[in-house]
Structure 1
C-alpha cells in the first residue's frame, strides 16, 4: 500500500492511497468462492455452479463490497502509518478501480489542530467570593413561605406582593399584536414576570378597575418585532388576592423533607442547602470565566466536523429542554442558531485537552471521591448513590472528567492575575451570560 499526504490547509488533509491490485483480486476471488458454495442458480446443483457464472451474476456487487471494506481498513492503516489524527469522517473519491489494476482513492478529512498554548500569566480574571448572611437565610425562608401561601380574595386596592387576576391585550401603533392577549391571567405583583412597568402599573387598582398602560418593550426582547417598541396594554382587574403565609412549624418544615420541629433547626438545614448551592454557583462561574479567557488568549482553528457534531448535540438538548420529544426533528432547528455556542464549546474542549496533555494531568482520586460524596449528599439514600457511582465505570469516568476540568481551571487560576470581588448571595447566583435560547412559548408580554 502506498500513501501520500497533502496539506490543503492547516487542518485539512488530502491523502491518496494506492492498494495493490493483487490484494483486491484476492479478496474478490475469495468472496466469489464463498458465494459459489451457497448460490442457487437454475440448471446447476448447489455448490457446483462454475466460478465464471458466479462472477457474471455477482461479480460487480462483490467487487463494490470488497472496495468498500478495503477503503475502511486501509484508511485507518494509512492515518496510523502517517501519524494523523482525523477530527471527523473522510470524504472518499475513488480515482482508479478498474479490474486488474491497482485501486487508488483520495480521502479528504480534517485533523485536530496543533496547539501552542499562550502564556496565561498576563490574563486578568475576576473571581467572585460570597458568604451567606442570616438575612439571606431569612429571605429564603420567607420565599419558601410565599411559594406555599394560600390566597384570599380582598376588596382593597392591589399592593406589591398581591395576586391579581387580569384580562389584558397589547397594541402596537393601534394594532393588536400576536401573543399580547390573555384572559383570566393570574399575576403576582412584584414577581418580575412581565415587561418593566406592567406590574407597577397595576398597583393601586381594585377589582373591576380598567386601565391603559403605556409601556416600552426592552431593546433586547426576544421577539424582534417588539424589541424597543412603544405599546399600550388595555388591562382589567378581575380580582385581588392577598397571600396568607403558612406557619413556620413542623408540618411546614416536612414539606421540604426536613424533620425538624424548631425554626432554628429548619434554618440550619436551609443554610446548608444554600451553602451547597452557593459553592456550585461560584465554582461554575469562575470555571466559565477562566475557560472563556483561555479561548480569548488562544487562537484555534476549529475543525468543522467537530462543530457540526456539537451542533447536533445542542439541537438534541434543545428539543429535550422544550419538550419536543419525538414530535420534533432536531435537524429541523437552524444550525446557525447553535453555531456560536458549538464553536466555543469545541474550542474549550481542544484547549482543555492540550492543557491536560502538556501538564500531564490526571484526575485526583481524592477529589473524585469528594465529588461523588457531594453528589450523593443531595439524595435521600446517599450510600446507594455513592456505591452506584464508585461501581459504575461509565458514571465514574464522567466524574473524573469533571474533576480533571476543575484541575485545569485551578492550574490556570494559579497562573493568572486574579482579583477577588465580594458579592451578595443573590448576586453570586446570577449567571454571567443569558441562556443561548429563551423559552418563547409564554405570551409575548411576559
Structure 2
C-alpha cells in the first residue's frame, strides 16, 4: 500500500502510521513470558513466578518498549517505501479516531533537502602559494638553539638585560591589601620574552642582584585573573640572581644532538626545510580549502533541516563542556551554554556537509583507498617511527573515517579549483604563519 506523505513546510513532512492492537498485545505477551523464565521475585522460585504477577509488575514498561519498537519499525518501513531521506528523529504522537482494533500515530519529521549548485566556472577563488626561504630556516634554528640554551650566573655588579634568566621574590598589593597570586619567592623568568607583564619586565630590567624596587603595575582589562583585571597594584620586587644565557653554536655537535643522521649543518638545515615545507603544505591547503568552501557555499542553494542543525549545536555544546572539564573547570558538565553561541557555526557546518556530499555524489569524488593510504603516510612521515603511526591510524575505524573525510575535502578542493576562476597569490612564509595564527 502506498504511503501518504503530507508536506507541512519546506522540509517538514507527516505520515500516519497504523498498528493492529492484536500485534502489539501478542508481542507484549511473548516478552512477558520470556521475562517470567528469568525474573526473580520474593516468595517465588526462579522461573516459577505466575504470569499475572509478572504482568502486574512489568506490564507497563514492557508495553511501552513494544510500542516504541513497533512504531519505530513502522516508521522506518514507511519512510523506506516512500523513498524518504529522513533528517533526525521523528516526533510521533498518537492519533485519535483510529478504526476499532487499530492504533494510529502521526509522525512529523524533516527530510534532507535537494541541493542545487550553480555553475562554478565564474566563482572567484584566491589560491595561496608559499615557499620556505633561508630566513625561515634561520629563525627555526634560533628557536631550536633557545630550547637548548644553558645559563651561567653573571657577576654581582651585572644588570639584568633581555635574554637573562632572573630569580626574584615579589609581592603585590592593591589599595594596600595583598591579593591571591600576587606573591612569590624564588620565581624565575626570562627577561624580554613576555613571560611577565611589560611593566614587571621593565622594572626588573637594569636591576642588580641584591637590589629591591617598588613600582606600580596596571593589570589589563582582559587579564586572565578576573579579580585583578583592570586594577592598579604596587609591587615590591627583589632580584636574587641574574644568569646569562648561552646558546649552542650551529655546528656538527648541535646537528648530532638533534638526531641528524650525517651530523652535518647542511643535513640539519635540509631536515628543517623538509619539516617546514610539510607544515607550509598543510597550512596552504587548509587556507585554500577554506577559500574553496566559501566559494562553494556562495554557489549553493538549499534549505537547512532544523533537526540536523540542532544535533550539531548539541555536539558542539558537548565538546565545549568536555574542553572546560579538561581544563579543570568545576561542574563543567552543567555549565549553562546557550544554543545561540554555536548556532551560526552549526548552520555553516550542516550546510557545508550537505553541499560537499552532493558534489561528491554527483562527481564521484569519494576517497580512494590509495589516497587514504598516501595521506596517512604523509601524516606519519614527521614522526620518529612512521610505521607505528600508520598502524595506529589503520587500527581504528574512527581515525580512518577522519582521514577519509579530509581526503574527500581535498578532492572537492581540487575539483572546484579546476572549475573556478583562480587567482594565484604568493605569500611569504611569515605571512602564511601569521594568517594561520
TM-score class, shorter: 0.7 to 0.9
1:334 maps to 2:337:
yes
- Aligned ranges for residues 257-272 of structure 1 at < 5 Å? 257-272=259-274
Call closer, same or farther: CA 1:226–1:56 in 2, change over 3 Å: closer
Gaps of 5+ in 2: none
Q: Secondary structure at the match of 1:240?
A: strand
Distance 2:219 2:432 in 1: 29
Instruction: State whether residues 93 and 105 of structure 1, in contact with CA within 8 Å, keep that contact through their aligned partners in structure 2.
Output: yes
What residue number does 1:181 align with?
182
Question: What is the deviation of 1:237?
Answer: 5.3
Alpha-carbon deviations, 1:330-374, whole Å to 9, x = none?
453624454444443333322222221232312244433321221
Counterparts of 1:319-398 in structure 2, within 5 Å, are: 319=324, 322=327, 329-332=332-335, 334-336=337-339, 337-386=341-390, 389=393, 395-398=399-402
* Residue in structure 1 matched with residue 409 of structure 2 by the alignment: 405
What is the distance in 1 between the residues matched to 2:318 and 2:176? 40
Residue 156 (str. 1) matches residue 158 (str. 2): yes
Q: Is the 8 A contact 1:88 1:305 kept in 2?
A: no
| Cross-structure match for 2:315 | 310
User: How many angstroms apart in 2 are the aligned matches of 1:170 and 1:412?
Assistant: 60
More deviation, 194-203/130-139: 194-203
**Offset of residue 249 of structure 1:** 4.9
What TM-score do you get using the length of structure 1 for normalisation? 0.77
CA contact (8 A) 2:98 2:104 kept: no
Could you tell me how far apart the structure 2 residues matched to 1:125 and 1:380 are?
37
Q: How many residues align?
A: 426
Could you report, residue by residue, the CA deviation over 1:134-162 in whole angstroms, capped at 9, with x for unpaired residues? 22212211111111212234343333323
Provide the C-alpha distance between the structure 2 equivalents of 1:398 and 1:98, rounded to a whole number of angstroms. Answer: 48
Question: Structure 1: how far apart are the matches of 2:81 and 2:257?
Answer: 64
Give, in whole Å, the separation in 1 of the partners of 2:305 and 2:202: 48
After superposition, the C-alpha distances for 1:282-335 in whole angstroms (9 at most, x for unaligned) are: 2222223332444455465253333234324523652475366xx755453624
- For the 8 Å contact 2:325–2:332, the answer to whether it is kept is no
For residues 198-213 of structure 1, the aligned pairs below 5 Å read 199=201, 202-207=204-209, 208-210=211-213, 212=215
| Contact 1:250–1:259 under 8 Å retained in 2 | no
The verdict on how the C-alpha distance between 1:411 and 1:22 changes in structure 2, with shifts beyond 3 A counting, is same
Alignment of 1:75-154 (within 5 A): 75-95=75-95, 101-154=101-154
1:418 aligns with 2:418: no
Q: Could you tell me how far apart the structure 1 residues matched to 2:259 and 2:328 are?
A: 28
> Would the alpha carbon gap of residues 36 and 363 (structure 1) be closer, same or farther in structure 2, given more than 3 Å must change?
closer
**Structure 1: 5+ residue stretches without partners:** 434-446
Q: For the residues of structure 1 that align with 2:244 and 2:40, how far apart are their CA atoms?
A: 86
Given the two structures, how large is their TM-score scaled by the length of structure 2? 0.78
Measure, in 1, the Cα distance between the counterparts of 2:266 and 2:323: 42
Superposed CA deviations along residues 16-74 of structure 1, whole A, max 9, x for unmatched, are 32223343244345446656778899999x8896x888767765554333212212211
